[in-house]
Amino acid sequence: MSAPRVVFDCNVYFQALIGPTGPAGSCLDAGGEGTVSLYISQYILNELRDVCLRPKIAHKFGITVQRLDYFCDGVRRCATFLPEPLEVFLLQRDPKDEHYINLAIAASASLVVSRDRDLLALADPWDPVGQAFQASYPTIEVVTPVELLARLAAG
C-alpha cells in the first residue's frame, strides 16, 4: 500500500517548529520517514515565514531567521514541492484557506491536515459547506494532526 498523500496547513508546520515532540511534529516526522507523502508550495512556505517572523511570535518562541531557514530546508527535503495550483475550490468563509484544498486537488492528496476551524468545517457532515465539499471532493478529507496520527497507527 502506498503512503497517503497529504497537505499540511501553515499552522501544522508552525506547531511542528515550536513543538517538535507534539502531534504536529510527529506528523512532520511521518513525512520525513515516508509514512505519508507530503506536498507543499511556495505559498505555504511564505505564509509560514510571515507568521514565524512576526516580532511578537519570533520573540515568544525564539524563532530566528536561521532557525526558520533550517526548518524550511528540512521540510523541502521531505516534501514534494508543487507549483501554485489552479483556483478550483473557493471557500467564502476564509479565502486564504482555499490554497490548501487547491493544492490537495493538484497533488491528488487524500488528506489535508489542519486545526483551522474553517478547514475542519469541510469535514462536518452537518455543516452545509461541509456537505457541499464532501459531495464535490469525496476523496479529500480534512483531519487534525491527532487524527492523522491515529490513522497511521491503525495502519
| Interval 54-112: pLDDT, tens | 999 999 999 999 999 999 999 999 999 999 998 998 888 888 999 999 999 999 999 99
Joined together, the cell numbers standing for residue 59 give 520573540
What strands, in cross-sheet order, belong to the sheet with 37-40? 79-81, 37-40, 5-8, 111-113, 141-143
User: What pTM, to 2 d.p., does this model score?
Assistant: 0.95
Q: How many domains does the chain have?
A: 1
> pLDDT for 29-67, tens place per residue?
999 999 999 999 999 999 999 999 999 999 999 999 999
Q: Cα separation of 34 and 5, whole Å?
A: 10
CATH number at residue 109: 3.40.50.1010
pLDDT at 103: 98
Contacts made by residues 130-134, CB under 8 angstroms, sequence distance 24+? 133/89, 133/101
113 three-class SS: strand
Percent of the chain topping pLDDT 70:
99
125, 124, 12, 117: which is closest to 71 by C-alpha?
12
pLDDT at 1: 63
Q: Cα separation of 115 and 138, whole Å?
A: 20
Residue 12, domain extent: 5-154
> pLDDT for 116-132, tens place per residue?
999 999 999 999 999 99
